[in-house]
Structure formats: C-alpha cells, structure tokens
Structure 1
C-alpha cells in the first residue's frame, strides 16, 4: 500500500496543474498560480515520501516528469502567452480603420508574438528530458529546476495583481521585457550551471551554510518585498549557486 503514496501525490500534482491550465487559458492567472503552487507542493512531497518510505521506482520517476511537464512546463508557457497578449495594443478601436501598410505588418507581428511564450514550455520539456537521463543530478541541479522557473513566471501576474503601480506595469507588460525573459528562461533552464539543491543530509550549519543563508535571506525578502520577492529569490538562488561553485573550487 505504501508504495502507492508517492505516486498518488504525483497525480495530485498533475491534477493541480491540469486545473491551472484551464484557469490560465481563461485568463484567471492568479487562481492558476495558486494551483501551480499547490502542484509544486505535491511535487516536493512525492519525492520526500518516496525516499522516506524507501519505495522509489522508475515508474515514479517517469510519472513525476510527466506531471511536471504540465504543472511546471505547460502552465508557465500559457501564462507567458497571456502576458504577451496583455502587453500588446488593442486593435479593435476606431483607429484601426486608419492603419497604414506598416501598421498592418505590426498587427501581423503582434498576432504571432504571444506564441513566443510557449518557448518556455519547449525549454521545460527539454530540461525535464535531460534530467531523466542525467545520473549526476542527485545532490545538485544542472540548470534552473522547472518548478523554480515556473514560480518566477507565475510571480509576474501576482505582482501585477497585488503590488501593481505604473512603473511595475510598464516593466512587466513591456513586450520586449517579456520576450527577453522568455529567452532567458529557456537558457537558464538548460544552462550547464551547477545549482545547489535544498536537500539536507544533516542539519549542521557547516555542511548546509549556503542553504541556511538562502532560506534566511528568502524569508527576509518575502517580509520586505512581498510578491516582488519572487523574482528576487530566484536571482538570489542563482547568485548564491555561482558563489558556492567558485568558493568550493
């Protein structure tokens, strides 16, 4: 019976991600973010349960990646698609009848532009496939994990909803910012950069200094910055990982 517990948690991750897909398609990005975070919660505890119950299996590994492909692959791609849509001008107003030939070319470009957001989904799929065949990533990650990348992207609609200002809207709803973030996301997902994992073999400070520093600073960021802390924490994770790599050498 206990061997089914981790897989049940993985399926709850997939179920949460599937709900998030429906919500994101219907422009309910904040609600979608909630179900993605719930899915990531289940994703963390399915591996934890498998290790504690000593019931890890190849089936569980494949099922975990399939669930992650929805929750941490498809959903962030759809959300980026929707954000790119929001960044574009409205073409249904009275000025549409006065569009020049150049404007029509821009219109065609703007119709295609949101689909660039789905590159996040492709980058996530490639990263998950590499992870499954890479035997080195046991105590560390090579490239940004898909859940962390998803949190980064899902943080944007949360910032717009709960901490919006003219400056924040101008930045987040700038199509070039979103395109740049999309390409950066695809790169850091698959970059050959060693990133520490939040796995504690023991609770001693000496062996886990980088993890304790990360967790403490992340808590401070959340208290001070609230939702804006989300991208700041991901950036902190990357910086501390690079620092850890340099000092360990």
Structure 2
C-alpha cells in the first residue's frame, strides 16, 4: 500500500474538518475562532496541492475532493457569516425576513466558481476572478473589524443591511468575474520579473501591521485593484 498517495487527500479532509468546526463557531457567533479555523483550512488547502505535486500523486479524485472541502471552508462558512451579519443588522421594527438569507448568495457564487475552476484550463499559474479562500478571508474579517474597530463610521457601514447586501452581491460577482488576477508565485529571484508581487506583498504586510483585522479586506481589495491596473496599464509598460 502506497501511503504517499493518500497524504494529500488526508490533508484535504483536514481542511474540510476545519471548515466544519468553523461552521459550529459561526453558529455560536464566535467569529474570531471561525476565522482562525478557516485560516487553518486555507493553509491546509495550500499544502494538499503541494504534497500532491511533490509525491507526483495528483488525481481526479484529489481535484474533486479539494473543491468539495473548499465548498465548506470557503463557501458555506462565509455565506453563514454574512447571514449572521445581516440578521444582526435587521431593523426589528420593519423586518424583511428574507434579507439575512440573501447572505448565502456568497455560497452560491463560491459553488459556481469552484465547479468552473475544475474545468477552466486557463487558471493554472494565475487566477481569473477572486479565489474562494481570498473571498472567505474578506468576508470573515468583517465581523472582526466590526467588533474591534473603534470607528463609528466603520460600525455604521458594517451594521447597514443594504451595504452588507452590496458586499454580498459584489462578492459573488468578483468570484466569477472575467478579471485576470496576477499570480503570487515567485518562480525566480529577479526583481524585474517579480516587481508586482514584491510591491503587493510589501503593501500587504504594512496594511496588516498597521490596520490588523481591517487590513485583511484592504489587502484583498489592493490585490484586485493592482491586478486591474496591471491588466490595463503596467503590463504594457513594465511587466
């Protein structure tokens, strides 16, 4: 029995396990622990592919298993978080009972992306549309920003159900948008070939250091904006 071929799938199942635990924490409104378990799941999601390539045991089963695990960790969990935020933001005087459930549009968008990713041969070295793990981190950071920020403006923004609905719809859109996003992989150590990646990683570290949880959505937004700028302008000039 070749144990090596089962290691990547075991890591993928651990990713799924982390997603299941995160669901429980969201149900308990413990968004911080849910965030940490999603982070752990995303970490494991990176290493299942790494070990599959290392051991040369990539398989169709592993590909499907990876998407199914991501569907929970990076699909169901962020949808549930948005449902919880919308439920909390409801105006009790005039409740629209369906509104919180619209948060699961994020889950639907994630599901479509994951299915499409499996058959899209263009996304080998870079991405088209925002990857589900990045989107999950964006959504899961919102209740933490709301809890730990002292800014009244941020509180008003993230407590407004209409703004949350806009974020929900934009999330589902950006997951599946035909927008090429630059690869974060550094294949060589020349600055010219990796200038965009170095600039982004530097900005990401600074945003996280200075803004903490608020830095997470800012990093994701920066990644998308730099990709759009790169697609339209920088690629023609430098990259």
Per-residue CA shift, 1:118-156, capped at 9, x if unaligned? 000000000111100001100110100000000100011
Q: Paired residue for 1:124, among 103, 110, 113?
A: 110
Q: Helix, strand or coil for the counterpart of 1:56?
A: coil
Say whether 1:217 aligns with 2:203.
yes
Say whether 1:204 aligns with 2:206.
no
**Computing the radius of gyration over CA atoms, which structure comes out larger, 1 or 2?**
1
Q: Helix, strand or coil for the counterpart of 2:181?
A: strand
* Counterpart in the other structure of 2:57: 55
**Partners of 1:120 and 1:203 in 2: how far apart?**
37
Say whether 1:244 aligns with 2:230.
yes
**Partners of 1:49 and 1:204 in 2: how far apart?**
26
**Partners of 2:53 and 2:197 in 1: how far apart?**
20
How many residues in Structure 1 have an aligned counterpart in Structure 2? 233
TM-score (norm 1): 0.90
TM-score (norm 2): 0.93
RMSD between aligned alpha carbons?
Answer: 1.3
**Partners of 1:120 and 1:85 in 2: how far apart?**
15
Q: After the TM superposition, which parts of structure 1 deviate over 4 Å for at least 4 consecutive aligned residues?
A: none
Deviation at 1:193, TM superposition (A): 0.3
Q: Paired residue for 1:161, among 135, 144, 147?
A: 147
Q: Judging changes above 3 Å, is the alpha-carbon distance between structure 1 residues 232 and 12 closer, same or farther for their aligned structure 2 residues? A: same
**Partners of 1:203 and 1:45 in 2: how far apart?**
22
